[in-house]
Structure 1
Amino acid sequence: MPDPATADLRHPAAHRPGQADPDWAAARRVLVVRPDNVGDVLMTGPVFRALRAAAPAATLDLLASPAGAAAAALLPEVDGVVTASVSWQQLDVVAGDDPDAALVDDLAARGYDTAVVLTSFSQSPWPAAEVLRRAGVPVRVGMSKEFGGGLLTHWVPAPPDAEHQVDRMLGLLAAVGVPSRGVELAVRIPDDAATPLAVVGARYAVVAPGASCPSRRWPAERFAAVVQGLAEDGLTVVVSGTDREAELVAAVAGEVGVPIAGGLGLGDLASLLAGAEVVVANNSGGVHLADAVRAPVVELFAGTDTVDQYRPRSTRAEVLTRPVACAPCRQLVCPFDQECLAVTPAEVLAAARRLRSVAVSVAG
């Protein structure tokens, strides 16, 4: 009897031994599917870098959500973007018999010969694979734990759930013949990026108190205390957010911060973060953008996800969280008291000062 510890117990349809890898050198139109948020798209940078080296003659496009599409313009290797609100990323029941019909027609008209479906550990590639099959994309690559028939032409078994998202995506590529070109995040700051540097001055910090859902947001009053402490350290403190976060931004800025709610595109924000002595933010796209421009970052990480899957690795960073039994919960609103974010302003200020190499003791 074969040793169960060494036997290949993968599903027989998954990445079959002897299966030929896609001919990347011959690829002409490649679509990368990642219809998620800004941070998820920013983390695809190493994927596009690897694909550009493997398929130098190909056009590399990204299928992105409306929220994530803005990040694509900052990735140097992305040639074009297909923006869609796909059915498999909606929280509510999608109306209509075929909500992705228009997307199928659009993809078919673009004539992709290869598609790579990127997912987190809790997402399935199979709905995207079916859309791609219907659109006539002949090579469809994805990663999954569960069986989905023949919808993927190259089905790669999933790694352990805790693997970093960048490593997960690069592992998918490596399994189909695309070597890594490095795990570091990188973005291209537009030449016309506008930043409020005249207001900010030479030495400043950026505090970003927003997040995609309430369960990820550290309390506003604690952010305000951090703004006060950074200002006492002699920094101008810019508090940034979207126009919908104007009330939150104003509350956190108080009398000492510089509130900027809306008015900055993602390229503008990248330019702003690049010059900051430190960035303080929730687990959000802002953290990944800071990571990509090498700004030191203190991240307040809620228990909605697992830290090691999303930890900043391209810059100096400290991730502050509390271990809790209910994590990772993936809840939009915490049903408890956000014990995972029971971090004090003093701890955040201490982390920020360590990253700035400023020997300042924190009272209390």
Structure 2
Amino acid sequence: MFEHPAALAGAPVNWPALRRILVVRPDNLGDVLLTGPALAGLRAAAPHARIDLLASPGGAAAATLLPEIAEAVVARVSWQQIDGPTGQDPDPDADLVAELAGRGYDAAVLLTSFSQSPWPAAEICRRAGIPIRAGLSKEFGGTALTHWVPAPDDGLHQVDRALHLLGRLGVPTTAGTLHAAVPAAGRGHARAALAELGVPAGPYAVLLPGASCPSRRYLGFREVAAGLGSRLPVVVSGPAAEDELVRSVADGLPDVHPLAGALDVPGLAGLLADAAVAVTNNSGGMHLADAVGTPVTVLFAGTEDVDQYRPRSVPAAVLRRPVSCSPCRQFRCPFALECLDVPPADVIAAALELVAVTTSEVSGVEARPTGIPVP
């Protein structure tokens, strides 16, 4: 297969000589967690480099869980804003350019999903004087990227997409499993919250009913909470903005405890890390459970291609209904969320099977990884 003559036209990158690397992923928390394997590869290839992350305010919360990242540069970048600029500023990223220029980066690695272009970020990095700028793209965009790697197949998992970029740039392949280092303070905050709720010692389940948009939110979480609550304690959690949602799931159910707004991201990581199982939507919570090693049952909406985002590091059950309109990538479903028309009894059964795997591992009995395939 022939590639564009400009592909990989830059000189080979001398990774061990680099001292300051910027990884660009200004997306949501889950997207940042998916960069973990790529960050591990960069750390191995450039052992003496400081690695910073250019992140959105939401994504930056994950930076404290990824030990490879020294600091998050937080910005609401213009090319990620859906509604467009609200003012008349002809150069909304000028302050970011100035900040990046002052940090003296040797290289920028631009990580994108299949539907995103690296070229706006590459131009910002070019203006900031970053000499090495690498990214994936289907199309040629000039010299904004010094190391343009033709994009792989759209269906590749987001972890493998990032590893593909680095592999083409001479970085040895690393394990494609997610990871997160749960701070001791985060684990302590989670345990204190459980004690305040009166959750007894032993296995418990975590339900995260929220998601970044309504089209990803399963509507049967209350029934799932009731069913699981008859077998083990259940904690229903989310940020303060989801307090009403969390209470609508948990209030009045025996052994089901609402916990909204009490934990930051490290605290939520601690809560998940000690759980026997998590039940989530296709959300940052799914990736966080995957990264801290907690088996997860996922209600995966038809908004995205499952194979690009599915959990890959822990036993997992991915549940959804096949529909002709998927992947739709809509924020609000124009129909009746048929893709998430999964009986609560099926969700409960899948979660309890994963609990059995977890408790068998804890007791030393050989456990069988489990999963429910997506049709």
TM more than 0.5: yes
Q: Which amino acid aligns with 2:133?
A: R
Name the CA distance, whole Å, in 1 between partners of 2:120 and 2:327: 24
> What's 1:181 paired with?
174
Provide, for residues 43-100 of structure 1, a one-character-per-residue CA deviation record: whole Å limited to 9, x for no partner.
Answer: 1111111111100111000000000001000001111110000000001121310010
Tell me, what secondary structure is at the counterpart of 2:184?
A: coil
Name the CA distance, whole Å, in 2 between partners of 1:326 and 1:23: 46
- Residue 227, structure 1, aligned to residue 220, structure 2: no
Name the CA distance, whole Å, in 2 between partners of 1:189 and 1:148: 40
> What's 1:76 paired with?
67
Equivalent residue runs for 1:300-339 within 5 Å: 300-339=299-338
Name the CA distance, whole Å, in 1 between partners of 2:108 and 2:199: 43
Q: 1:224·1:254 contact (CA, 8 Å) conserved in 2?
A: no
- Once the two structures are TM-superposed, the CA of residue 168 in structure 1 deviates from its matched residue by 0.3
Ranges in structure 1 where 5+ consecutive residues have no aligned partner: 1-6, 359-364
- Once the two structures are TM-superposed, the CA of residue 315 in structure 1 deviates from its matched residue by 0.5
Tell me, what secondary structure is at the counterpart of 1:179?
A: coil
Tell me, what secondary structure is at the counterpart of 2:235?
A: strand
- Residue 136, structure 1, aligned to residue 129, structure 2: yes
| Between 111-120 and 141-150, the greater mean CA deviation after superposition | 141-150
Tell me, what secondary structure is at the counterpart of 2:206?
A: strand
Provide, for residues 118-150 of structure 1, a one-character-per-residue CA deviation record: whole Å limited to 9, x for no partner.
Answer: 000000000000000000000000000122111
Tell me, what secondary structure is at the counterpart of 1:66?
A: coil
Equivalent residue runs for 1:150-165 within 5 Å: 150-165=143-158
> What's 1:4 paired with?
none
> What's 1:12 paired with?
5
Q: 236, 241, 249: which one pairs with 1:239?
A: 236
TM-score for the superposition, normalised by structure 2: 0.90
> What's 2:17 paired with?
26
- Residue 53, structure 1, aligned to residue 66, structure 2: no
Ranges in structure 2 where 5+ consecutive residues have no aligned partner: 358-375
Q: 232, 243, 248: which one pairs with 2:245?
A: 248
- Residue 214, structure 1, aligned to residue 214, structure 2: yes
TM-score for the superposition, normalised by structure 1: 0.93
Runs of 4 or more above 4 Å deviation: none
Name the CA distance, whole Å, in 1 between partners of 2:4 and 2:322: 34
Q: Which amino acid aligns with 1:89?
A: Q
Q: Which amino acid aligns with 2:317?
A: E
> What's 2:285 paired with?
286
Q: 110, 116, 121: which one pairs with 2:114?
A: 121
Between Structure 1 and Structure 2, which shows a larger proportion of helix residues? 2
Q: 1:141·1:152 contact (CA, 8 Å) conserved in 2?
A: yes
Cα root mean square deviation, aligned? 1.1
Name the CA distance, whole Å, in 2 between partners of 1:75 and 1:357: 29
Tell me, what secondary structure is at the counterpart of 1:356?
A: helix
Name the CA distance, whole Å, in 2 between partners of 1:345 and 1:291: 22
